[in-house]
Chain A
């Protein structure tokens, strides 16, 4: 057993599962957005903001944002433990990544519900 405290789930198993589930959510969201753009070639502001005014789209988007946050935390934490050998540098990188994820997540909520 190797102890870790800066990874997302405190467990390799839960990180692994979160990584895969969040990947599925992100894939579905990407497919939906790309398909929507393809089926609406003359998209205007009213249609676009109308889409995001609907509750289900906001829930779907927030789910995608949270999935992105989890996915990025697990993935970049792994990269940092592979390549950054100096503890200070590694912890600094992890802190910046987690802070950025937090900022983007709150910002995303504000974009979805603020307009």
Chain B
């Protein structure tokens, strides 16, 4: 029994009035392939199938999708990790507008990321060569800088589903803390002021869906807690 039953979310706004699930039978020849391999085999059967992919090794973050109910990167998710009863259900990342098939509009996600001003800001005079950082200061950035912006975390977060225009989401907040924690950045007060309202950061309810799905093993919930501590010590 090497034929896998794959059910894929299909939607072409130019021809379909509503999305539907299409069934495919894929012969894996008993191999434990990655989900992305299955998608390319589907595309061989039906060339109209649309999905994003690029590096196929978990670095570019293009092929985030919902596989049997859990968000992840198709390129580094083996079938053995997601397939149950020989069935695989592939859907686009939840909560973002679908452009076509498994391709979602990431606009809101990027807008929240941009709001966090994800670049170093320092208004002191630039030194002759570079701003130095001690190994201990550099260590604080571990677990923060590795994010590849695949959106698996933010699109698994109900708070982001309900208010994607106001709640920054786990990915953006992880990056916000990445710059708050950076010894070379001194825009701390402005960054904290942007996050103090009831939505931007505080809509996080700590359910840790983000931590459960992050393909890079990062922990946005901990970063959000750290920002909360900074806000609290700043304001009490």
Contacts and interface: CB of A to CB of B under 8 A. Distances in A.
Interface of A: 1-4, 7, 11-17, 77-78, 81-83
Interface of B: 159, 162-163, 166, 193-203, 228, 231-232, 235
B193 A13 contact: no
A15 B232 CA distance: 12
8 contacts: A1-B196, A2-B197, A11-B196, A14-B235, A77-B198, A81-B198, A82-B159, A82-B162
A9 to B, nearest CB: 8
A11 B197 contact: yes
A16 B228 CA distance: 10
Nearest to A81: B163
Given A3-B197, A12-B198, 12 more contacts: A1-B197, A2-B198, A4-B197, A4-B198, A7-B198, A11-B197, A12-B199, A12-B200, A13-B196, A13-B202, A15-B198, A82-B163
Given A81-B163, A83-B162, A15 B196 contact: no
B184 to A, nearest CB: 24
Contacts of B159: 82
B94 to A, nearest CB: 16
Contact of A13 (B163, B166, B199, B235): B235
A15 B202 contact: yes
A14 B202 CA distance: 10
B198 A11 contact: yes
A17 B196 CA distance: 12
A16 B202 CA distance: 7
Contacts of B232: 13, 17
Contacts of A77: 198
Nearest to A8: B198
A81 B162 CA distance: 9
A17 B36 CA distance: 45
B97 to A, nearest CB: 16
